[in-house]
Structure 1
Amino acid sequence: MKSTEKFGTAPLGKLLAEQAIPASVGILTMSIYAIIDTIYVGHFVGPEGIGAITVVLPITFLISSIGMAIGVGGSSVLSRALGNNKMKKAFKTFGNQVGMTMVLAVFFVLLGAFLTDDIIHVFGGMGDIEQPAIEYFTILLIGVPFLAWAMMSINVIRAEGYPRVAMFAMIVPAIINLILDPIFIVALDMGIKGAAWATTISYIGSAAFTLRHFLSGKSVLKISLENCKPSFPIIKEIASLGSVTLARQGVISVLAVVLNNSLFFYGGEQGLSVYGIINRVLMFANFPVLGITQGFVPIVGYNFGARLKNRVQQIVKISIAWASGISVLLFIILMTFAANISELFTSDLELIAETTPVIRTVFLATPLLAVSLIISAYFQAIGKAGPALFLALTKQGIFLIPLVLLLPLYFGLNGIWMAFPLADIGAALVSFVYYKTSKTKYPKTVEAESPSTSEILSHE
């Protein structure tokens, strides 16, 4: 248990760095891979290829977010169980996470395969983008169950206190994709299908890497049929907290439907291609905040379970300060080098000219992102599903979707881009006020459970 005990004793700054830096590196690597993937598609397939990826990724991530939701929700339960010495509950929670992830992921993949054409149309796959989007989606579906497993496992591994393993689980698929993209897209001239196969194989690689962690004997948790048997109280707790992540991704997917169709209506295929570039830059700009957030969650969960109130309060302050500071630096880079960033993705002069000012508009409120993400993650980490869900949906659901529908009526395509910074400002204000006015009740302490002989041996 040494890997988790440090959450309650180590200096918070050092602890956050140990957790957040590997998470940030993993997310940054994934962001770089996504950027390079789009660069290859932009230069060797064309703007329609960028548009196709823009349409498909929200669909595949909606399906795979089942694994992420189970991972995040279950990890909150795990962290608090480990902090409160409830080992049997920790083992049972992991087993139920495994069973839930695989059953649900396979079900929704089959549903996606059956309704492919309809789904692509709903998400804005029209005109010249429709056929490449269908080709890309059909292949990517094969890898979605593997992605769901990987996303669940990464959160569990981080909750166990192995942030470096979680980091490599994100780096491995990025490296695989970076190797396969030039081979499939350029050397073998497979076009958009090549990009899809490279991504699918990378998902399988990530799943294999995380599975190895649990089978190697390094993990405290073990995969066993006994623990995979459904425990409805645990499933309910995982689902309650995981619904925050699933609802967030669900709203992001609804946003994708609204946004893609609005972009096609006001800007045609070119509008979708511009957003394809913006979406990749968003991943890069958000990586330090997301990394700090992911590193912050198990620390909060453990200390909350152990009733260490001062440590919980301090880690929230430190996390927001660190994430905001790094976001300011990224904001300066984005504003200064917007034109150079646009040129990375395409040689189409018209697309470059249209994308450059959009980057400067969309990222105006980047420094405020830390407040809304970290505060939402705080409520999720301490097991408060209601506030976490409300705050998670604030940006996309309460602000961005209505603004994307409303502002173009007055400002045309520019109104869509203006919606992004306004939504960031609104979400940060709501989150800050909610956190400051909320009262947190800590759990009662319990005595450590007496583990069985087999459990004792498995930990030694």
Structure 2
Amino acid sequence: MKDNKENKMGTMPVKKLIVSMSVPMMISMLVQALYNVVDSIYVSRLSMEALTAVGIVFPLQNLMISVAMGTGVGINALLSKSLGEKKYETANKAANNGVLLAVLSCAVFMILSGFIVEPFILSQTAKEGEELAQDLDPLLVRECGITYGTICCLLSLGMFLQMTFERLLQSTGRTILSMASQMTGAIINIILDPILIFGLAGAPKLGIAGAAYATVCGQVVASILAFILNIKFNKEIKFSFIEMIKPDRHVIGRIYQVGVPSILMMSIGSVMTYCLNIILNGFSLTAQTVYATYFKIQSFFFMPVFGINGGSIPVLAYNYGAKNKERIKETLSFTVRLAVGIMLCGTLVFELIPDILLALFDASDDMLRIGVSALRIIAVHFPIAAVCIVLGSVFQAFSQSIYSLIVSLCRQLVVLIPAAWLLSLTGKLDLVWFAFPIAEIGSLAVTLIFFRKVMNKVTKQMEEVLS
């Protein structure tokens, strides 16, 4: 089986190989994107305040997801390595300690929810005495945000366990099963959203709380399914309650050695969104709503590119190990063209029908006025982002992930936030959206510098080995 896989990575036509490895990830990510959009569409039917509140809570949700996914990366790395070395005891400890870390992470956010949710929401909405200057009702936004955020934090165990159990499936190569779990959770969420929000089929009408409960229910179902799939198909791992309640410091240290950098890298987006929400609040709450809505819609184009990225990394890594420079070049050439093509489609959609996209979210006249120009300005950077994302796969495939972290920091914090703040000083909201293409151009410059450095180093190493 291993030989077949190796032959496929080294001999199958590159285009066919990339497509076959990327499509499952793309489908899984597109389902997640669909859930995010559908969830927001239902929430928008409640009110613009409810939609704004969900967008304001997003950085906190993303922080929890970052902790869960980053820890999962650490578990994945240690477990896969231990299985490869035939150290089955360490592999089992990685799995069982990973479950413990998921429970402890949830406990931390449950405790913090009583202290951080309200000030977190208040810091992104109008200050006392500024309510009348706002186009939406800040008090209602706060109320919806606190309700939604508190439920998501208090009942986050399903999300943490789902991420952990899915990573265990991925660690042993069962990516299809992991995808099935993820898709099931998203579908359950989509089904429950209208039922719990609007009180259909005899259910109570819960409003914004219903959206939060639907999310939580989807995560719980997905976590249970992922656990069952691990028990039934993941014979390499043996779960033990005794090992789960007996933390191994050495194993946990090795998990977080890989996991903490991943957590930090994934958390950058939370910091960026939080800071941008504060800047946009200086104009109006509707500006925040537009940004949150843009973020949901753009995922339909970014997620497939991330899927391509995920599919290309093992191909690049394998051929790097095999010293096959031509296949590396062919992989990069094809993935760049494919990713740019997808993003060009995204740019065209955003430029041609921004009003139709916003109308899906029951956009008010004010939201349309702000949103149409915002979507058109921001979408200019999509093709540039595609190049940065694909070239960034080289850093991960060639074990140079520090460069990926630097590029992410430059794009989302070092350039974008200062640029948005400086442009906001003009008092013209339309100019603030130009911070996105400005940041992406800066990111492209940094990416190209690092890419050239890494490729020169790799080429030199290959030439030395071959000579």
Structures share a fold, TM > 0.5?
Answer: yes
1:392 equivalent in alignment to 2:408: yes
Q: What is residue 18 of structure 1 aligned with on the other side?
A: 20
- Which has more radius of gyration? 2
How many angstroms does 1:410 deviate by? 2.6
What is the aligned length? 439
Q: Helix, strand or coil for the counterpart of 2:426?
A: helix
Partner of 2:131: none
Quick one: distance in 1 between partners of 2:186 and 2:239? 26
Does the 8 Å contact 1:27/1:170 carry over to 2?
no
Matched AA of 2:269:
I
Residues 48-63 of structure 1 mapped to structure 2, 5 A cutoff: 48-63=49-64
CA distance in 2: counterparts of 1:25 and 1:352, whole angstroms:
30
Give yes or no for the alignment of 1:173 onto 2:178: no
Cα pair distance change 1:296/1:349, threshold 3 Å = same
3-state SS of 1:346 partner: coil
Change (3 A) 1:195 1:160: same
Give the CA deviation at 1:147: 1.4
Q: Give the C-alpha shift of residue 335 in structure 1.
A: 1.6
- Indicate conservation of the 8 Å contact 1:79/1:302, yes or no: no
Q: Match for residue 148 of structure 1?
A: 160
Which residue of structure 2 lines up, in the alignment, with residue 103 of structure 1? 104
1:286 to 302, 317, 332: 302
2:448 equivalent in structure 1: 432
Letter in 2 for 1:64: I
Mapped contact 2:268–2:408 kept (Cα < 8 A): no
Q: Report if aligned partners of 1:33, 1:174 keep a CA contact under 8 Å in 2.
A: yes
What is the DSSP-based 3-state SS (H/G/I as helix, E as strand, rest coil) of the residue aligned with 1:407?
helix
**CA shift digits 1:22-45 (9 cap, x unpaired):** 1111111111121111111112x1
In 1, the alpha carbon distance for the partners of 2:55 and 2:364 equals 17
The residue number in structure 2 matching 1:355 is 371
Q: Is the 8 A contact 1:65 1:148 kept in 2?
A: no
The answer to whether the Cα contact below 8 Å between 2:373 and 2:430 also exists between their aligned partners in 1 is: no
Q: Structure 2: which amino acid aligns with 1:262?
A: I
In the TM superposition, what whole-angstrom CA distance separates every residue of 1:298-340 from its partner, at most 9, and x where no partner exists? Answer: 4555666x55554556544443332222222222222222121
For 1:4 and 1:247, how far apart are their aligned partners in 2?
36
Q: Distance in 2 between matches of 1:180 and 1:131?
A: 22
Gaps of 5+ in 1: 443-460
User: Which one has more relative contact order, counting CA pairs under 8 Å at least 6 apart?
Assistant: 1
The 3 A distance-change label for structure 1 pair 363 and 154 is farther
Q: TM-score, normalised by structure 2?
A: 0.83
Q: What is aligned with 1:206? A: 222
Distance of 1:175 and 1:2 partners within structure 2: 34
Question: Which residue identity lines up with residue 400 of structure 1 in the other structure?
Answer: L
Decide which of 235, 239, 242 is 2:259's aligned counterpart: 242
- The answer to whether the 8 A contact 1:77-1:237 is kept is yes
CA distance in 2 between counterparts of 1:384 and 1:279 reads 28
Distance in 2 (CA, whole Å) between partners of 1:421 and 1:327 is 14
User: How far does residue 409 in structure 1 lie from its aligned partner after superposition?
Assistant: 1.2
Cα offset, 1:358, TM superposition? 0.9
Taking only aligned residues, the RMSD between alpha carbons, in angstroms, comes to 3.1
Q: Name the % identity.
A: 26
- CA shift in 2, pair 1:240/1:398, >3 Å: farther
The 8 Å contact of residues 407 and 416 in structure 1, kept in 2 or not, is answered as yes
Say if 1:23 and 1:166, in contact at 8 Å, map to a contact too.
no
5+ residue gaps, structure 2, are 128-137, 462-467
Query: After the TM superposition, which residues 61-210 of structure 1 pair with which residues of structure 2 at under 5 Å, given as runs?
Result: 61-76=62-77, 88=88, 92-124=93-125, 127-128=138-139, 129-186=141-198, 187=200, 188-210=204-226
The answer to whether the Cα contact below 8 Å between 2:126 and 2:281 also exists between their aligned partners in 1 is no
Cα offset, 1:346, TM superposition: 1.0
TM-score (norm 1): 0.85
Aligned residues of 2:109 and 2:153 also touching (Cα < 8 A): no
Q: Determine the C-alpha separation between the residues in 2 that align with 1:388 and 1:364.
A: 22
